[in-house]
Chain A
């Protein structure tokens, strides 16, 4: 008798455990089919388990007659996330039949992994944000609904560089959302004090190095600072007209080979690694933030950084921060920059009505009003090309000229060559394993600075690894 009651208690514990395991989803599946004990002890737990039929659809489906819920996953934390929520709230207020549920998923990598897992589990969102380098991988999921497939999509409202970056052969697939480029910030007070001319909009490497010599002769500790991330190499390579991958940067056919170890690539990497090796820049490693500290503390006179940091850069400095375009190699003309940042991707839900609703959300975010909020709130670009006359933005730019530099740098980018063909250098590389390949460039810095390889040797090594990654990836499509 005693053991029977023990069993009962045990069953209770187990059913409670199962309830707890059920977590947020509806009712517990109550795996334990009641065994022989009567329900007397635990009516509460058993009751709903009896009738747990095919109601697999989430609660959203019942009142779905009128409201469609759109799941929107993004990677914008902190203040950026607040702006996203503001935009989403604005959408929800103005739409009765569509409600957006925005969820912060962590970093881009986290969001991407969550997306992968959701494909397996069948819980994918309707809209997800993913960063620039993952564009090819997103295409290859085969789960996207391209923007160009919607009737009211007008590619011409977008800045060409933005539009072309996220396009396949048929047109724009992802919707550029947060776009940024690198610019050269400088400590204007320091230049004025020393009577040195700041670098112009069209500077070559030699110009920068000449300025550096003047600065350091004038007692400045470091001429410049930048983190050893892959991005600046990619951007300055593009600005110098160099390609990253073969097949026109992977834009006319799948990239099969990295070509950044040839021609311009070597010149660019020699310049960047040389700045650190020759003591013009401190060796701060792979970082996005330590460099800011060095610049704002007045240790370095200039810094390569993202346009999206323009507000914080001025706020954190007790001197005037000015900006100019990034440099290009001596042997090239200025080409311009690649649009960076991330895009929104519409995941096919299999239901046209839902896809259409998700598209409405994406389209809403691209409207001028939202673009103004987004740009002024975060520093990411407006991605439309009809924003120059917007009075709100003009007022904003008058107060924050550094944002204007970034937009001009992008607008003056040569997206087509003299003969009318696309300038693939500034469209940026496109390859499935690009995120992994970028890391090889990061390692290349260390190979030069720590292990004493020449820039050419370090790039050759990186290219070899990159080719292996490309071969592995492309094998899936043979």
Chain B
């Protein structure tokens, strides 16, 4: 504010300088945009243009080889809602989110609390073991768990057999496939979640705890009434990120189950990939699905900020 006033003052007295000042401003703006330019170019090519083209695609049906197009208006969208496979994928996505996000967050917060209090002196090596999945790509996780779940030579069923349990057919049984994939995803994301939660916990001022201790609060009370409320912004952030991540899980599904058996792990995202790129591609239909997913994520983010956001306790 004060700056603009001073500019005006100067402008009244020194017209030549005004020009100079304005030019300075323009130059500063140009400079700013030039800094932005590299990322703008990348974003335009890989994000903005595809957003527009995929919307155009979603209004058409395109032959798999791309040289014949039929305009269908919003036909792809209306059809999605009568397609039992797509409705199933909505359900699968919901179940998948419900089984990964709460589990992942509870595990992460428990571990983070453990790491900051009772296990504070844990060696760097053990901490590393918890964080290490963070550097593993989803494809590698998929391959790793494929071996763990293998029905004939897998470790999981071998270990279960040692304690006398006959393990299920993890990946090819409709009841277990989604849970199996969810466990792999929770494991991979755990490192990231713990790091963020740990950072949040360590940011909490120690004086609160001291005061609580003076009042005779035990560990549970301290966690319940100090740690969790003050951690809520972090938790909110993690919750959002995890929901979006779970909706966008691809690598593990592709490698472990390919959406099967019988669509049991065919999430909304995998369904897009499948319709666009596998077998007989129908890109218009896939684009319509992509738009629905986009709108869904948008709505959810909005609701989460609106509803959830108010309850978050910022320090």
- Residues of A whose CB lies within 8 Å of any CB of B are 3, 6-7, 10-11, 13-14, 17, 21, 109, 113, 116, 119-120, 137, 140-143, 228, 282-287, 290, 293-294, 297, 299, 432-439, 442-443, 445-447, 450-451, 469, 472-473, 475-476
Q: Contacts A293-B152, A472-B61; is A6 near B31 (CB within 8 Å)?
A: yes
Bound: A439/B175 CA distance, A? 20
Q: When chains A and B are docked, how far (Å) is the Cα of A439 from the Cα of B66?
A: 22
CA distance A439 to B277 in the complex (A): 14
| Chain B 13-33 interface mask (CB, 8 Å, partner A; 1/0) | 000000000000001100100
B220 adjacent to chain A (CB < 8 Å): no
| A369 smallest CB distance to B (angstroms) | 34
On whether the beta carbons of B152 and A3 are closer than 8 Å, the reply is no
CB distance from A116 to the nearest CB of B (A): 6
- B280 touches which one: A282, A447, A469 (CB < 8 A)? A469
The smallest beta-carbon distance between B28 and chain A, in angstroms, is 8
Do B64 and A438 have beta carbons less than 8 Å apart?
no
- Please, how many angstroms separate the alpha-carbon atoms of A443 and B279 in the complex? 14
16 examples of A-B residue contacts, CB within 8 angstroms: A3-B27, A14-B37, A137-B65, A140-B64, A283-B172, A293-B150, A297-B152, A435-B280, A439-B279, A442-B260, A446-B264, A450-B261, A469-B280, A472-B282, A473-B63, A475-B70
The winner among A120, A439, A445 for most chain B CB atoms within 10 A is A439
Partner of A476, one of B68, B172, B258: B68
Residue tally, chain B, CB below 8 Å to A: 39
Given A113-B277, A435-B279, A443-B262, 13 more pairs with CB closer than 8 A: A14-B38, A109-B278, A228-B172, A282-B151, A286-B261, A290-B151, A437-B280, A439-B279, A443-B263, A445-B262, A446-B174, A451-B174, A475-B70
Compute the total of residue contacts between A and B using a CB distance below 8 Å: 117
Does the CB pair B279–A438 fall under 8 Å?
A: yes
Q: Per-residue CB proximity of B64-85 to A under 8 Å, as 1/0?
A: 1111101000000000000000
Shortest distance between the CB of A422 and any CB in chain B (Å): 25
Contacts of B35 in A (CB 8 A): 10
Majority secondary structure, A binding face: helix
A285 touches B171 (CB 8 A): yes
Q: Which residue of B lies closest to A295 (CB)?
A: B152
Residue in A closest to B64 when the chains form the complex, CB atoms? A137
Question: Is B169 interfacial (CB 8 A cutoff)?
Answer: yes
A446→B260 contact, CB < 8 A: yes
* B151 touches which of A11, A13, A284, A286 (Cβ 8 Å): A284
Residues of chain B lying within 8 A (CB to CB) of residue A137: 64-65, 280
**Contacts A140-B63, A451-B262: A10 and B34 contacting too (C-beta < 8 A)?**
yes
Question: Contact at B279–A120, with CB atoms within 8 Å?
Answer: no
